[in-house]
Chain A
């Protein structure tokens, strides 16, 4: 039986990897993947605590999270394609449209 703390530490490591990936990588696809990492880190947490508390709600939540993540990737990729078509680049530095 693996103790709960191992799962939590793993989840934290994956989450921080995701955060750092979002913050430092320039490639927009990598950023999207990093976001997925962060989502899955939370999923690990949900599942771990679900088994720890013997409560199935956590696992149900994970299915929702996975579904939403799938939809989000679809939208995200569509946006990336649109951006690529307008700028011929997927380098996030080039997109400064939110500036006044």
Chain B
């Protein structure tokens, strides 16, 4: 079985499109789509291989050797990897197909395909990494690709700043990740997963003095420190509070890329990291609690903001933040399988929701504000029905994939001690909010009277088949992934993880019922507010103005960062620019140049161009030399 080809095919597509995109232009999809589809087929074969009990490590080559440090590139394939491969290749493949229709005729068509192929390659290598350094390299590569793709429409200032923001915020997390990496090497003397995991139990008791450099004494558990530092990277990449700010802004990119970032690549990397390093995290209860609480905070936070937004893509984006919180919380409570399971189902329905948004946006000529939609369900039937399926899955409606995975998380959380019970209740409350905001979107955008710009209202129609077919496939997946038994398939990948909840116990059934009720109440509430009495939301918003504004302005996090971090940094940079750069560095460089020019202008006086002056100089020189020899 040739696992190498799974990442290499998209990479080859990237190379071809990157080098020859100029000539390939509108035929770019002919290169990228087959590559990803073959990758997908290979991933399915891999999945079957792994299901047969094989998990393999394939060394590719030794990248660098320095003293004891050997840096190898290799592929590690186990059940977790297999599931991730499947998710990444299928969503990426459908996004590729969808892009054909969405980006048709755009400038930078080939460039876009080149970057999404690179994105897919990076994410595949990330999930297949068999050591920390390789993980880190592709972790960064994924960040780079997201930067390139969010800024695809680089002539828009907002896209440029969104891309920069995503990159910088990610870098903050990656800084912690890199420190964690160094600490792993310091502690274990190796960066290979297998060696690190094997030694981890032996060093669980070791401590690390944080204040050694300044002579202080602050002992912390090394393992907890490693886990927390690495988690910092995950917080950045998976958009957890407080580094979530880049994700909603990433909506500036073309919609297919939003789907790719939110469903399959990029944001899932953080959750994957925690799951992959489960043997480390499981040894550090403190780090686990931090992960769980961060996840839960993100979950509630994202959901409250999604309630009041008007941009359809942003609502879906905030729901991603919230759902990532669920996954992180599950991992933090030891239910890694449940977390990854939700990641998988979420990948399906979130990609679906984004691609639906994209088809609405295309149909309405790049209108994203749902206040100027309405009544679309008759004009865009395919988009409408698939969107409803996606929303049902997101809301955890019974018998959809989202229902099973969310339920799995809540049951596992409930059985994980008192903290788990608290977080599970929060999860239930969030389920209500989730159902509410997802159906608010359905009712406002698709039901009611049309508020579409009359210019475009006449010719609103379904997009081409390259866009609707991925929607249909994803709609099927949004339901069917719930029945594949992914959770039990994954369980052997996490030996020693907290035991999963039993689904037939009375508590589990109670939680299932509660979750279902929450979902139904949320949908009903959205129906009452936005269909039955349309004036009510405005009145409520008026009555609870403070709360409404808090949610509408995203809890003022962006503003707070702007005041406390961004502006002082910009001001400092400004000072450094005018004070140090211009005055000192430029001054020195220009000063040297000016001194030399001045010297040159003096020397130039000697050079008159008169042959006889030169002859005089020669004669005088000869006389001088002669005098010197004769007199001394």
Q: A residues within 8 Å of B by Cβ?
A: 19, 22-24, 92-93, 95-100
B residues in contact with A22, CB < 8 Å: 612, 615
Counting CB contacts under 8 A, is B604 at the interface? yes
A-B contact pairs, 24 of them (CB 8 A): A19-B619, A22-B612, A22-B615, A23-B612, A23-B615, A23-B616, A23-B619, A24-B612, A92-B610, A92-B612, A93-B610, A95-B609, A95-B611, A96-B608, A97-B609, A98-B607, A98-B609, A98-B611, A98-B614, A99-B607, A99-B608, A99-B609, A100-B604, A100-B607
B residues in contact with A97, CB < 8 Å: 609
In chain B, positions 102-158 with a C-beta closer than 8 Å to chain A are none
- Complex CA–CA separation, A43 to B303 (angstroms): 107
The number of inter-chain residue pairs (CB within 8 angstroms) is 27
Closest residue on chain A to residue B611 by CB atoms: A92
Listed from nearest, the 10 A-B pairs whose CB atoms lie closest are: A99-B609, A96-B609, A98-B609, A22-B615, A23-B616, A19-B619, A23-B615, A23-B612, A92-B611, A99-B607
In chain B, positions 589-611 with a C-beta closer than 8 Å to chain A are 604, 607-611
Mark interface residues in B604-632 (1 if CB within 8 Å of A CB, else 0): 10011111101110010000000000000
Closest residue on chain B to residue A22 by CB atoms: B615
- Complex CA–CA separation, A24 to B613 (angstroms): 10
Min CB–CB distance A36 → chain B (angstroms): 15
- Complex CA–CA separation, A93 to B79 (angstroms): 92
Contact count band on B: 10 to 19
- Complex CA–CA separation, A96 to B612 (angstroms): 10
- Complex CA–CA separation, A22 to B618 (angstroms): 12
B residues in contact with A19, CB < 8 Å: 619
- Complex CA–CA separation, A97 to B609 (angstroms): 6
B residues in contact with A98, CB < 8 Å: 607, 609, 611, 614
- Complex CA–CA separation, A24 to B614 (angstroms): 12
Min CB–CB distance B616 → chain A (angstroms): 6
Min CB–CB distance B617 → chain A (angstroms): 10
Min CB–CB distance A39 → chain B (angstroms): 15
Closest residue on chain B to residue A19 by CB atoms: B619
Min CB–CB distance A28 → chain B (angstroms): 9
Mark interface residues in B81-110 (1 if CB within 8 Å of A CB, else 0): 000000000000000000000000000000
Closest residue on chain B to residue A26 by CB atoms: B612
Min CB–CB distance A96 → chain B (angstroms): 3
Known contacts A24-B612, A93-B610, A98-B611; 18 further A-B pairs (Cβ under 8 A): A19-B619, A22-B612, A22-B615, A23-B615, A23-B616, A23-B619, A92-B610, A92-B612, A95-B609, A95-B611, A96-B608, A97-B609, A98-B607, A98-B609, A98-B614, A99-B607, A99-B608, A99-B609
Min CB–CB distance B146 → chain A (angstroms): 55
- Complex CA–CA separation, A95 to B615 (angstroms): 14
- Complex CA–CA separation, A22 to B616 (angstroms): 9
Closest residue on chain B to residue A35 by CB atoms: B615
In chain B, positions 499-551 with a C-beta closer than 8 Å to chain A are none
- Complex CA–CA separation, A75 to B189 (angstroms): 80
Min CB–CB distance A20 → chain B (angstroms): 9
Closest residue on chain B to residue A24 by CB atoms: B612
B residues in contact with A93, CB < 8 Å: 610
A residues in contact with B614, CB < 8 Å: 98
A residues in contact with B615, CB < 8 Å: 22-23
- Complex CA–CA separation, A96 to B613 (angstroms): 11
Closest residue on chain B to residue A96 by CB atoms: B609
- Complex CA–CA separation, A99 to B611 (angstroms): 10
A residues in contact with B609, CB < 8 Å: 95-99
A residues in contact with B612, CB < 8 Å: 22-24, 92
A residues in contact with B611, CB < 8 Å: 92, 95, 98
Contact B604 A96 (CB under 8 A): no
- Complex CA–CA separation, A26 to B302 (angstroms): 93
- Complex CA–CA separation, A100 to B615 (angstroms): 18
- Complex CA–CA separation, A93 to B615 (angstroms): 13
Min CB–CB distance A79 → chain B (angstroms): 12
Which of B608, B610, B611 is the most central at the interface, judged by chain A CB atoms within 10 Å of its CB? B611
Min CB–CB distance A23 → chain B (angstroms): 6
Min CB–CB distance A60 → chain B (angstroms): 26
- Complex CA–CA separation, A29 to B612 (angstroms): 14
Min CB–CB distance A32 → chain B (angstroms): 12
B residues in contact with A24, CB < 8 Å: 612
A residues in contact with B607, CB < 8 Å: 98-100
B residues in contact with A95, CB < 8 Å: 609, 611
- Complex CA–CA separation, A98 to B612 (angstroms): 12
Min CB–CB distance A34 → chain B (angstroms): 10
B residues in contact with A23, CB < 8 Å: 612, 615-616, 619
Min CB–CB distance A61 → chain B (angstroms): 20
Min CB–CB distance B298 → chain A (angstroms): 70
Closest residue on chain B to residue A95 by CB atoms: B611
Closest residue on chain A to residue B620 by CB atoms: A23
A residues in contact with B616, CB < 8 Å: 23
A residues in contact with B608, CB < 8 Å: 96, 99
Min CB–CB distance B525 → chain A (angstroms): 86
- Complex CA–CA separation, A24 to B616 (angstroms): 9
Closest residue on chain A to residue B622 by CB atoms: A19
- Complex CA–CA separation, A23 to B619 (angstroms): 9
